[in-house]
Structure 1
Amino acid sequence: MSYRLPPSVQTTEGNERQVGLEIEFAGIEPDETAKIITELYGGEIKKEHRYSIEVVDTSLGNFRVELDARILRRMAQENIFDKLGIELEEDNFRKSIEDIVDKLARTVVPLEIVMPPIPISELDTLEQLRQALQKNKAEGTHASMIHAFGMHLNIEAPDLSVDTLLRYLRSFVILYPWLVKVLNIDMTRRISPFVDPFPEKYVRKILSPDYSPDKDKLIEDYIAVNPTRNRPVDMMPIFGMLNKDLIAPVMEGEKNDPRPTFHYRLPNSRIDDSNWRFELEWDHWLVVEELAENDEMLDKLSRLYLLRRKQTVISFRKEWADTIEILLDIDE
């Protein structure tokens, strides 16, 4: 069964919008993970090194499997010890060091599958991968107190106009307290820096009825208080496409592939929950899409948010999440 569709299925160019998923987990080796992908979708395994594998030319596109830790990737590069001035004459000694670091890292560093962007109408084909990972005992966020694992959705924007991007940003910050509640975001992930909430002063700025920036002003205001990719919706890929000169100095030394997608990072990785589907996280994102495309409700909730925020200090997020459920008639 296909996933539910958003109000805007196509881009302004007339192409069906695409979505790419990323899932973090533990409990399965990189080589075995790559093999699982080829068994489902075909393709060829290309191993860059022990921590980074590509599965290319599958029926869906190219997948990437990697242990997402810079220090491990660096250690795995050819001659890395020589470059550091460390002389290791015995290959087995070199390997033993890598093994030790590998085991230590996997207590806190997830293995990640980066899936290729595919049309929204074909997203259900990725549930086969979810089932295979569950069958092979993949571990998610709740398997350990120190697993700050997440699931990311890279959702292609309908277009890159300032109006559209601002509507989506407004929709997300309005819905953020409700999303945190309904997704039951793991405490380890809340205290980690990876999904820090948008600062309240930024939320108030973009929800103001008088806020009407041009493209550069939208980007400048964003990076002034969000000079990072660590936000529940990371806008750096989109902004990197719109104005690389503004984004490049902020992202210096940090990976940022410009692409026309909202990088939604909030959900937990519930890969070890047999009742969980990727589709559930898509359904939650759809609420953002639906509100973004409802101008009247978006304006109403923006004004109400600003009013309630002034009136409520201590329990605002809880009360606002409850308000959202009532006003949008969300059945969870």
Structure 2
Amino acid sequence: MSFLSPPITNNKEGNPRKVGLELEFAGIEPMKAAQIITSVFGGEIIEEHRYHINIINSRLGNFRVELDARILRKMAEENIFDRLGITLEEDSIRKSIEDVVDKMARSVVPLEIVMPPVAIQDLEQLEQLRQALQQNKAKGTYASMVHAFGMHLNIESPDLKISTLLNYLRAFVIVYPWLLVVLKIDMTRRISPFVDPFPEKYVKKILDPDYAPEADQFIEDYVEFNPTRNRPVDMMPIFGMLNKDLIAPVMEGEKNAPRPTFHYRLPNSRIDNPEWRFADEWNHWIVVERLAADNEMLDKLSRLYLLHRDQTVISFRKQWAKTLGILLDLDD
């Protein structure tokens, strides 16, 4: 399966839009994962510590391998024990603690590979890494009931106009019920806090045809209803570029690198499924891209969504997913 092209392929500077992938999985040690990356793309391995490894100067750019839990990364730093008043002078004692951490990581906490942003036309090259991880028995979402693992896509926005960002957000909330069905989102991930859905009050607000906020109002409204990064499309990286002061009150203690990307967090990590391709998840996102670029259809579906939502009390999402599939001729 190939990566489909979106209606808008270039950014406002006229350069190809880029996409960065993040993959969570288990079953492979951090250093082994780093070695797999260099075996595919080359580069130099730099180990900050056993839970955070950088791969620099690969032919695609810089990769990062890390345990996706700040508490575990902190435990790897010597001074964390000092701050807790714990003295670990014996290497054997330190090793035993790190072994416990490793065991936790293999069973609960995912290892994450953060891939460099690449042009959409170059995404196909990342399938080589997917294949190598599968050959090395990486485990994904369905390998355990406690694996709330995901695959994230950082998709560069065509520009930072509020009208553009609002179109994408509107398109996503309209497509969201269909995505839940077609992606078969794992129940562990649904009940976890990592991809909480947008509140229905906020969905109704942004789909209102009269909603046309200025930049600050758009951000303030978003933060009021979504004071978190835990949304299926996290807008905080983009808002950090537009006005970091407006999101600062709810970002305290949160890691948020400002960048012009939609942080799409919904897909499962299906790395242990030999039939799965990274292209599957990108091609589902393409439905959002196409709708965001079609103002007439977006307006019609926004009005229809609001109408159906007001008339349907039970099983709205399921019914809307079917309706959308028919209207947009989508496969499920």
Provide TM-score, normalisation by structure 1.
0.99
How far off is 1:104 after superposition? Answer: 2.1
Secondary structure (helix, strand or coil) at the match of 1:202 reads helix
How far off is 1:80 after superposition? Answer: 2.4
Q: Does 2:55 match 1:55? A: yes
Counterpart code for 2:259: R
* Conserved 8 A contact 1:40-1:129: yes
Secondary structure (helix, strand or coil) at the match of 2:283 reads helix
Equivalent in the alignment of 1:151: 151
Equivalent in the alignment of 2:272: 272
Residues of 2 paired with 1:55 and 1:164: CA distance?
A: 34
How far off is 1:206 after superposition? Answer: 0.1
Moved more, 218-227 or 244-253: 244-253
Equivalent in the alignment of 1:207: 207
Equivalent in the alignment of 1:120: 120
Equivalent in the alignment of 1:316: 316
Secondary structure (helix, strand or coil) at the match of 1:286 reads helix
Secondary structure (helix, strand or coil) at the match of 2:3 reads coil
Runs of 4+ in 1 over 4 A off after TM superposition: none
Secondary structure (helix, strand or coil) at the match of 1:262 reads strand
Percent of aligned pairs with the same residue? 74
Secondary structure (helix, strand or coil) at the match of 2:4 reads coil
Equivalent in the alignment of 2:76: 76
Residues of 2 paired with 1:45 and 1:296: CA distance?
A: 49
* Conserved 8 A contact 1:2-1:123: no
Residues of 2 paired with 1:248 and 1:106: CA distance?
A: 34
Equivalent in the alignment of 1:104: 104
Q: Does 2:211 match 1:192? A: no
Q: Does 2:93 match 1:93? A: yes
Give the RMSD, CA atoms, in angstroms. 0.9
Residues of 2 paired with 1:112 and 1:308: CA distance?
A: 39
Counterpart code for 2:22: E
Unaligned runs of 5+ in 2: none
Equivalence map 1:178-327=2 (5 Å) = 178-327=178-327
- What do residues 249-296 of structure 1 show as CA deviations (whole Å, max 9, x unaligned)? 221111000000000000000000000000000000000000001111
Equivalent in the alignment of 1:6: 6
Equivalent in the alignment of 1:46: 46
Residues of 2 paired with 1:234 and 1:89: CA distance?
A: 42
Secondary structure (helix, strand or coil) at the match of 2:280 reads helix
Secondary structure (helix, strand or coil) at the match of 2:112 reads strand
How far off is 1:45 after superposition? Answer: 0.2
Residues of 2 paired with 1:76 and 1:330: CA distance?
A: 47
How far off is 1:156 after superposition? Answer: 0.1
Residues of 2 paired with 1:106 and 1:248: CA distance?
A: 34
Aligned residues: 332
Residues of 1 paired with 2:61 and 2:32: CA distance?
A: 19
Residues of 2 paired with 1:105 and 1:14: CA distance?
A: 42
Equivalent in the alignment of 2:22: 22
How far off is 1:105 after superposition? Answer: 3.4
Counterpart code for 1:94: R
Equivalent in the alignment of 2:65: 65
* Conserved 8 A contact 2:105-2:111: no
* Conserved 8 A contact 2:63-2:114: yes
* Conserved 8 A contact 2:62-2:115: yes
Moved more, 296-305 or 90-99: 90-99
How far off is 1:2 after superposition? Answer: 5.2
Secondary structure (helix, strand or coil) at the match of 1:3 reads coil
Unaligned runs of 5+ in 1: none
Residues of 2 paired with 1:149 and 1:249: CA distance?
A: 28
Residues of 2 paired with 1:235 and 1:56: CA distance?
A: 28
Residues of 2 paired with 1:40 and 1:233: CA distance?
A: 30
Counterpart code for 1:197: P
